[in-house]
A and B are shown apart, each in its own frame.
Chain A
Amino acid sequence: MIVRRDVFQALADPTRRAILLLLATQAMTAGAIASNFDSARPTISKHLQILNECGLLAQDQKGREIYYQTSAEKMKEVADFLEPFRQMWDNRFNKLEALMKQPKNK
């Protein structure tokens, strides 16, 4: 099962917000990002994975290295409040779909 990450949950963590700020102006490898924090490298990798899963990061493979950058488009959607609005409708429509799949409503 694919768990779709909630963008607001992702933003709730201070380290993840710091990573986004760091990547807003430059693309960096996971190693370079980790060197900016006291946390262990696997912890930073986990944060990157979470940010990536909710679409807040863009990845660019250069040779053997993966460079991460903030996805400007997604950040704009979040900042313009489009994402919470979308999630509100997504929740409603998920309910609608489940409701109408019940045999009694057919």
Chain B
Amino acid sequence: MQKTNVHAPEGQPCIFITREFDLPVALLFKAHAQAQLLAQWMGTNVIKLENKKHGSFQFETEHNGNVVFSAHGTIHDVVENKKIVRTFEMHNSDVGVQLEYLDFEELGKEKSKLSIQINFKSMEHRAAQLKMPFAYGLNSAHQRLQEIGNQLK
């Protein structure tokens, strides 16, 4: 059973991500609200995180002294244990600015659900985002896929 589901509807420049956690909703929210926790599971340094209306955030990942990933955004709305609405922009990428709606839901005492809706500027920007994981060392797999994909067309 897949725990994390991703849906990219045809013709709509958005992506839906859902995941159920064996965690109380308060802990799920906390993992998004505290810089030191967010840094650990996102695998990036959190330079700034003001989790409040009109707040902003900044992430940066270094590898051998070089910045290999940096992103920033502003936080539009936060309701504790319920939702976060924010923008997100990765620097030096073709993805552009995305608008993210994070909805936190209590499913039980030790169960919770996170639903994320990401809106992109266009279908092209969404496609750029979906190809991003390959920037992190999956290039050879990508080529094999292209190979198979091309033959299936």
Contact assessment for A95 and B133 in the assembled complex, using a CB-CB cutoff below 8 Å: no
A24 within 8 Å of B (CB atoms)? yes
Cα distance, A90 to B135, chains bound together (Å) = 17
Knowing A85-B129, A97-B22, A100-B37, say if A105 contacts B30 (CB, 8 Å): yes
Candidates A21, A24, A82, A101; contact of B130 at CB < 8 Å? A82
What are 19 pairs between A and B in contact, CB < 8 Å? Answer: A11-B141, A21-B152, A75-B148, A78-B145, A79-B148, A79-B149, A79-B152, A85-B15, A85-B130, A87-B133, A88-B133, A89-B6, A89-B19, A90-B3, A90-B4, A93-B3, A96-B31, A100-B21, A100-B37
Using a CB–CB cutoff of 8 Å, the interface residues on chain A facing chain B are 8, 11-12, 17, 20-21, 24, 75, 78-82, 84-90, 92-97, 99-101, 105-106
Which B residues are within 8 Å of any A CB, using their own CB?
Answer: 2-6, 8, 15, 17, 19, 21-23, 27-28, 30-31, 37, 40-43, 114, 127, 129-134, 136, 138, 141, 144-145, 147-149, 151-152
